[in-house]
Amino acid sequence: MLYRVIDAAELPLLVSAFMQQYEVVAPVKRGRSYVFDAIEHPEDMVLDYPTTSASLKKYFLPPKETLMRFNAQTNRVAEHTLEVPPRVIFGAHACDINAINRLDQVFRDGTYNDPYYCARRDATLIVGISCTPADSCFCHLWDADEARFGYDLFLQDIGGRFLVSISSVEAANILESACNPREATDQDRIDFRHATRRRQASFNPGIPDIQDVAMLMDAFHKDDFWEELGSRCLSCSACAAVCPTCFCFDLQDRLSPDGTQGERYRVWDACTSPQFAQVAGGHNFRPEGRERVRHRMYHKLNGFLANHDRMLCVGCGRCVKACKADINPVKVLEFFKQKGADDASAA
Ligand code: SF4
Ligand code: SF4
């Protein structure tokens, strides 16, 4: 990895240089929340921000997108060209970069790559930035508080200057042309270490660290806990909408009024929706809230890990804030912490 240091005052120059060639998407304040949006001026962005309310996945998997158009009479598929603007996502936190890495595993690096996802991913540069954890963050439990790959530049605030990790030639050239990057000194490295320690010490100690949660979930698959959790679910899909790693979608066809033309599109879907597991003939594989919520938590904390060697949850905490019924992975961790305490007192 190549490291350089730039002064904090040079950051607007870097953003302006990106803006010459790319659409720049960055965190901005909207009311009391922060969201990622396209910016027109470097001063529009707010880099010292808590987790945004919505994630970055809409830039790779839009909530709704047309996959193809077809002639319903000839059964011919019409050409569908995808227009992808070259884009820079500036100021992504490590958890969100790790979330994109998970999406890459599914849509780009798996057995079947998704051309729509890949086109957007290939057209996007990612500039990460260090953060200060909020009370709802638990990315450190799943090793998602540091981004080791999946970005072009990563900016670590080391006090009045940034230690920049560089991992693409394209971004390195822009950094070189816009700023005055210098070699990192020993003091820069020491300050980087201190900044990392400060971040690691800032996580909410009240969120239990249960590293063997996946195995425990298998052991407690039938526990009443899932009934209690699932019975509260409102099926509102807010958790899936805000989650940076929820990627399920539904495919739908829509015909023109005269029935001659049609389009096939995909829309975000959520496994907490009652119809999600309903199949032709009307059978529903997960008719109960208990089964749906348990399925969601298992996919996040157990199933994806078995298949891809990582949790599908990156601990961003968005669902902790978004779910009005207080259903989230932290509740699962708290349950197993309590189970551990019960076992200890029974022994
Ligand atoms: S499950 Fe919740 S905490 Fe985990 S990645 Fe999704 S929104 Fe973030
Ligand atoms: S778990 Fe919470 S956010 Fe998700 S669908 Fe149920 S009530 Fe809505």
Q: What average pLDDT does the chain have?
A: 96
* Of 34, 19, 30, residue with least CA distance to 127: 19
pLDDT category at 339 given cuts 50, 70, 90 is confident
- Pair 70, 262: CB distance under 8 Å: yes
Query: C-alpha angle with apex 37: 161 to 68, nearest 5 degrees?
Result: 130
Q: How far is the CA of 320 from the centre of ligand 1 (A)?
A: 8
Share of the chain above pLDDT 90, in %: 94
Q: How far is the CA of 279 from the centre of ligand 1 (A)?
A: 27
What Å distances lie between residue 319 and 5, 212, 244, 325, CA to CA? 35, 21, 10, 10
Which residue's alpha carbon is nearest to atom 8 within ligand 1? 316
Element (H, E) at 127: strand 124-129
- The pLDDT, as a whole number, for residue 79 is 76
d(CA 250, CA 248): 7
* Of 117, 100, 126, residue with least CA distance to 65: 117
Within 10 A of 115 (CB to CB), how many other CB atoms are there? Answer: 12
Q: How far is the CA of 242 from the centre of ligand 1 (A)?
A: 8
State whether the beta carbon of 272 lies less than 6 angstroms from ligand 2: yes
- The pLDDT, as a whole number, for residue 235 is 97
Ligand 2 atom with least separation from CA of 235: 5
Mean pLDDT of all residues in 270-295? 96
- The pLDDT, as a whole number, for residue 70 is 95
d(CA 298, CA 230): 13
Mean pLDDT of all residues in 71-93? 92
- The pLDDT, as a whole number, for residue 322 is 97
- The pLDDT, as a whole number, for residue 81 is 83
- The pLDDT, as a whole number, for residue 244 is 98
Task: Name the residue of 243, 302, 321 to mutate for ligand 1: max ligand atoms within 8 A of Cβ.
Answer: 243
The pLDDT of residue 178 is above 90: yes
The pLDDT of residue 346 is above 80: no
d(CA 26, CA 47): 8
Q: What is the pLDDT of residues 52-75, one digit of tens each?
A: 999 999 999 999 999 999 999 999
What is the amino acid identity at position 270? A
- The pLDDT, as a whole number, for residue 329 is 98
The pLDDT of residue 271 is above 80: yes
Q: What is the pLDDT of residues 203-223, one digit of tens each?
A: 999 999 999 999 999 999 999
- The pLDDT, as a whole number, for residue 345 is 75
* Of 4, 1, 11, residue with least CA distance to 189: 4
Q: What is the pLDDT of residues 91-139, one digit of tens each?
A: 999 999 999 999 999 999 988 999 999 999 999 999 999 999 999 999 9
Mean pLDDT of all residues in 236-262? 96
Sequence-distant (≥ 6) Cβ neighbours of residue 255 within 8 angstroms: 72, 261, 262
State whether the beta carbon of 242 lies less than 6 angstroms from ligand 1: yes
* Of 8, 22, 20, residue with least CA distance to 124: 22
d(CA 202, CA 135): 9
- The pLDDT, as a whole number, for residue 341 is 76
- The pLDDT, as a whole number, for residue 246 is 98
The pLDDT of residue 169 is above 80: yes
Within 10 A of 185 (CB to CB), how many other CB atoms are there? Answer: 10
Mean pLDDT of all residues in 139-146? 96
Q: How far is the CA of 187 from the centre of ligand 1 (A)?
A: 36
C-alpha count within 13 angstroms, C-beta hemisphere, residue 248: 16
- Which range among 92-96, 117-121, 270-274, 306-310 shows the weakest confidence by mean pLDDT? 306-310
Q: What is the pLDDT of residues 290-304, one digit of tens each?
A: 999 999 999 999 999
The pLDDT of residue 335 is above 90: yes
DSSP E strand stretches across 158-279: 161-166, 249-255, 261-268
State whether the beta carbon of 100 lies less than 6 angstroms from ligand 1: no
Residue by residue, DSSP assigns 251-307 as EEEEE-TTSSEEEEEEEE--TTSTTTTB-TTS-BS--SHHHHHHHHHHIIIIIHHHH
The pLDDT of residue 201 is above 90: yes
Within 10 A of 180 (CB to CB), how many other CB atoms are there? Answer: 12
Ligand nearest to the CA of 136: 1
